[in-house]
């Protein structure tokens, strides 16, 4: 059991270093991922707005052309009014003129709506492109910072993970499962006694318990936090 506890102490040492490496990276990986998602969302919005804007602009051009044609038709009908010889022909032309004018009014209303919508879309486009530029700039800065930190820690992390894999082969599965469960909950599964107290939660222990821990011949857990307690020869 003494060897098993020593393996767990060494395993805790490796895991502590791995935790420290992750803390050095901080929340940068999550920030980069979040910015990538936001940047992609903004770019999708830009593309969608751009497509709608182009469709509206095409419709506006077509509508203006149709309005010009309608105005020419009205002028042509009005010129023909002076040439008709019967009331029936006059009434027919007048009805045509009114019909075309009604359609022109509808088209003019649509044209005004399109111009307003296009103006709004152009504003949205400008704002989205500005956001996209800001996200891209921040994303690049965070990527550079993450790469710089990763370059410093990745080699050490890989080395520690290899050592960890070698070490856990010496730890029984039952003890390893217990260790992993406590580590996940507490971030430190193995602690030494410190001034007659648990090195994790600082709960005071009886002299008998301290004596049993010092023997290192059985696994003893803190009654308060559940951590595995050990005694290291360098301690007082």
**Rounded Cα distance, 215 and 193, in Å:** 13
The pairing of strands 228-230 and 190-194 is parallel
**Residue 29: is its pLDDT beyond 70?**
yes
Residue 102 shares a structural domain with residue 133: yes
Q: Is residue 165 part of a domain?
A: no
Residue pair 174/214 in contact by the 8 Å Cβ criterion: no
Three-state DSSP at 32 gives: helix
Tell me whether residue 147 is in a domain: yes
- Mark whether 133 and 190 lie in a shared domain: no
Question: Could you read off the pLDDT of 170-197 as tens digits, one per residue?
Answer: 998 999 999 999 999 998 999 999 989 9
Check whether residue 203 and residue 129 sit in a common domain: no
Contacts of residue 56, defined as CB under 8 A and 6 or more positions apart, other chains included, come to 114, 117, 118, 121
**End-to-end Cα, the chain, rounded Å:** 22
User: Residues with Cβ < 8 Å from 2, sequence gap 6 or more?
Assistant: 216, 217
Domain-embedded: residue 235: no
Q: What are phi and psi of 203, to 5 degrees?
A: -75, 130
Segment holding 197, helix H or strand E: strand 197-198
Residue range of the domain that includes 111: 26-158
Give 43-66 pLDDT, tens digit per residue: 888 899 999 999 999 999 999 999
Question: Domain check: are 69 and 126 in the same one?
Answer: yes
Is 168 inside a domain boundary? no
Identify whether the C-beta of residue 191 lies closer than 8 Å to the C-beta of residue 225.
no
Classify residue 9: in a domain, yes or no. no
Tell which of 127, 158, 189 closes a domain: 158
Q: Indicate if 57 and 143 belong to the same structural domain.
A: yes
CA atoms within 13 A on the CB side of 179: 22
Judge whether residue 216 has pLDDT over 50: yes
130, 125, 142, 120: which is closest to 28 by C-alpha? Answer: 142
**Total count of domains within the chain:** 2
Residues 144 and 92 in one domain: yes
How crowded is residue 178: how many other Cβ atoms within 10 Å of its Cβ?
18
What does the pLDDT look like over 69-110, one tens digit per residue?
A: 999 999 999 999 988 889 999 999 999 999 999 999 999 999
Please answer whether residues 227 and 189 qualify as being in contact, where contact means their C-beta atoms are separated by less than 8 angstroms. Answer: yes
Domain boundary pick from 158, 187, 221: 158
Do residues 121 and 203 share a domain? Answer: no
Same domain, 101 and 214: no
Does a structural domain hold residue 149?
A: yes
Same domain (yes/no): 146, 213: no
Q: Say how far apart CA 45 and CA 51 lie, in whole Å.
A: 10
17 falls within a domain: no
- Percentage of residues of the chain with pLDDT beyond 90: 65
Q: In this predicted structure, what is the pLDDT of residue 235?
A: 45
Other C-beta atoms lying within 10 Å of the C-beta of residue 229: 24
pTM (two decimals)? 0.51
CATH number of 152's domain: 1.10.287.1490
Share of the chain above pLDDT 70, in %: 96
What residues pair up with 215 in beta bridges, in sequence order?
none
Cα-based distances in Å from 105 to 52, 66, 111, 166, 183: 24, 12, 10, 83, 75
Distance CA 127, CA 231 (A): 62
Residues 135 and 177 grouped into a single domain = no
Tell me the residue length of the chain.
Answer: 236
Which residue, of 158, 191, 207, is where some domain finishes? 158
Q: Are residues 154 and 182 in the same domain?
A: no
Judge if 185 and 122 occupy the same domain: no
């Amino acid at each position: 059991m003494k060897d098993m506890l020593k393996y767990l102490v060494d395993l805790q040492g490796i895991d502590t270093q791995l935790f420290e490496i992750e803390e050095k990276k901080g929340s940068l990986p999550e920030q980069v991922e979040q910015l990538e998602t936001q940047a992609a969302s903004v770019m999708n919005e830009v593309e969608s707005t751009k497509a709608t804007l182009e469709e509206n602009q095409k419709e506006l051009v077509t509508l203006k052309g149709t309005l010009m044609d309608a105005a020419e038709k009205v002028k042509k009908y009005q010129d023909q009014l002076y040439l008709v010889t019967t009331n029936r022909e006059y009434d027919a032309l007048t009805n045509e003129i009114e019909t075309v004018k009604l359609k022109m009014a509808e088209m003019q209303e649509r044209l005004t709506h399109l111009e307003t919508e296009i103006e709004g879309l152009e504003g949205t486009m400008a704002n989205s492109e500005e956001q996209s530029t800001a996200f891209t700039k921040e994303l690049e800065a965070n990527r550079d910072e993450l790469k710089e930190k990763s370059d410093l820690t990745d080699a050490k992390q890989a080395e520690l993970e290899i050592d960890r894999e070698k070490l856990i082969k010496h730890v029984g599965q039952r003890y390893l499962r217990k260790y992993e469960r406590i580590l996940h909950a507490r971030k430190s599964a193995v602690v030494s006694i410190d001034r007659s107290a648990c090195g994790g939660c600082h709960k005071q222990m009886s002299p008998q318990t301290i004596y049993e821990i010092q023997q290192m011949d059985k696994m003893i857990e803190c009654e308060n936090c559940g951590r595995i307690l050990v005694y290291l020869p360098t301690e007082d």
